[in-house]
Structure 1
Amino acid sequence: MDRRTLLGAAFAAAAATPALAQQPALDPENTLILELPAGRVTIQLLPDLAPRHVERVKTLVRRGFYDNTPFHRVIEGFMAQGGDPTGTGTGGQRETRLPDLPAEFSPRSRARFVRGTCGMARGAGPNTANCQFFIMFTTYPSLDEDYTIWGRVVAGMEAVDRLKRGDQRRNGSVENPDRLRVARIASDS
């Protein structure tokens, strides 16, 4: 599919959603397309909130880093986490060969963790995010001002909703987890 067709579909889906209908057109350089088993997801990147995290996501996408990575932690009523090629929830600096990122937490007045929000997973410290990310299934105020928000789903949330549930960290394994097939920045298509 060429870039015009891809962006046209994303714009049409965004316009069909009343809350998004008044938003300006998506910037192809700040639009992330994920191909999941259940369909395409379009994410608006938010460099005004988290410029370093958005740049990291774009760098890793352009390297093909996220292609075929599992969603190793998908918790009903919470979120779907991926971005770790090891599938264990421990991947980061060793796999990316990039340093961890300093926190870019947003005040609640600017951004909140609601359905479709994309955040960066991190370790115990605030400056430990690297490559793992999550997409929210629902509103979760306890994450506000404590995790970096770098994007939001503008189309295709139903494909995220259909990801297989499981948690590698709790069960020791998620049998045949769903995988992010391909991730691309819209301007690169």
Structure 2
Amino acid sequence: MRLYRLSAALMAAIGLLALPAAADTSKATPTAKELLAKSKPSEWRTPDPQNLLYMQLPQGRVVIELAPDFTPLHAANIRTLVREHYFDGLAIIRVQDNFVTQWGDPNDDDNGDKSKIKPLGSAKRTLAPEYTRAIDATLPWTALPDGDVYAPQVGFSEGFPVARDPASGREWLVHCYGMVGVARDVAPDSGNGSSLYVAIGQAPRQIDRNLAVAGRVLEGMAHLSGLPRGTGALGFYTQAGQRVPILSVKLASDLPPAQREKLQVLRTDSATFAAIIDAKRNRRDAFYTLPAGKIDLCNIDVPVRVEATASDKH
């Protein structure tokens, strides 16, 4: 008896095989790129240069936007440290896989030479912990509808991911990827901004409300997340040669306008940002045949772009 290999089409015709239905792309949701291309100029904001840090590494520049409305004491102290060139010549001292990259004074580490710790200058040695703030109802608030494990409410305010507890009347910045926090010792007031870290892995939400979050990286994140991991405890570098030197840290406001990054951030209270959230929650195209219908706070990136020039607008 001879056996014949039937084609998939023939097998489907005689009921032996059910071919998958072709994806219906007539109802495909627009992509974030498509939505951003149609955004209005008024939906973008230019960050205050007083709140922008330029950290120059050998690999390139990292741009950080401070969040003074959430952590005003830390933002002010960081500005003082920057203006007095505290960070210049320090280093990235820790890269813990799926957690954080941290920078500061290597001699201020547990294994450092305490006699060589860099002076803080006129910056404050201790600061009151700014882990939460009172909910500010006067500021724009874009809520997410899908709930959260760590907080009663989550959403975006002033371009940052935020969690809220209406019962206590408090809100706080969340440790999403790219958010910059203030390292500290055990004492709650020991985080003064002289050592900072950025989340480089899955959002470490368990440390929310236990450390002050001072801002987020707008540009150059790959220079921080792509570094070799430290082999010491908690990802600290054990050899001086492993550390990445910080060439300089400057405030954008202290530079001539021509030397500033022309970055813009999409307003999180804009119609385009709301459409991006909806598109990410309900994505349906040739690949995503089953939309999730939900989205996590830290799975939404607030778009950043280079400001369009006059020639780009024509």
- TM-score calculated relative to the size of structure 2: 0.49
Partner of 1:161: 225
Runs of at least 5 residues in structure 2 that lack an aligned partner in the other structure: 1-35, 134-162, 165-171, 256-314
1:143 positional shift:
1.1
Partner of 1:116: 178
CA contact (8 A) 1:117 1:149 kept: yes
Match of 2:249 among 177, 183, 188: 183
Change (3 A) 1:186 1:77: same
Which piece of structure 1 moves more, 119-128 or 169-178? 169-178
Partner of 2:148: none
Change (3 A) 1:169 1:88: farther
CA contact (8 A) 1:37 1:159 kept: no
- State how far apart, in whole Å, the 2-side matches of 1:157 and 1:115 are: 9
CA contact (8 A) 2:94 2:237 kept: no
- Amino acid across the alignment from 1:132: S
- State how far apart, in whole Å, the 2-side matches of 1:88 and 1:162 are: 22
1:40 positional shift:
0.8
- State how far apart, in whole Å, the 1-side matches of 2:48 and 2:237 are: 40
Deviations 1:3-42 (A, max 9, x none): xxxxxxxxxxxx89x9xx9552111111111111221111
Match of 1:174 among 239, 242, 256: 239
Partner of 2:49: 28
Match of 2:119 among 76, 89, 95: 95
Partner of 1:52: 73
SS in 1 for 2:216: strand
- State how far apart, in whole Å, the 1-side matches of 2:52 and 2:208 are: 23
- Amino acid across the alignment from 1:174: Q
The structure with the largest alpha-carbon Rg is 2
CA contact (8 A) 1:103 1:126 kept: yes
Match of 2:205 among 138, 141, 145: 141
1:46 positional shift:
0.5
Change (3 A) 1:140 1:121: same
- TM-score calculated relative to the size of structure 1: 0.80
1:141 positional shift:
0.6
Deviations 1:41-83 (A, max 9, x none): 1111100010010011110011110012111111111111112
- Amino acid across the alignment from 1:133: L
Q: Using the aligned pairs only, state the percent identity.
A: 28
CA contact (8 A) 1:105 1:147 kept: yes
Which protein, 1 or 2, shows the higher relative CO under an 8 Å CA cutoff with sep ≥ 6? 1
Q: What is the aligned residue count?
A: 171
SS in 1 for 2:102: strand
- State how far apart, in whole Å, the 2-side matches of 1:23 and 1:73 are: 34
- State how far apart, in whole Å, the 2-side matches of 1:103 and 1:146 are: 9
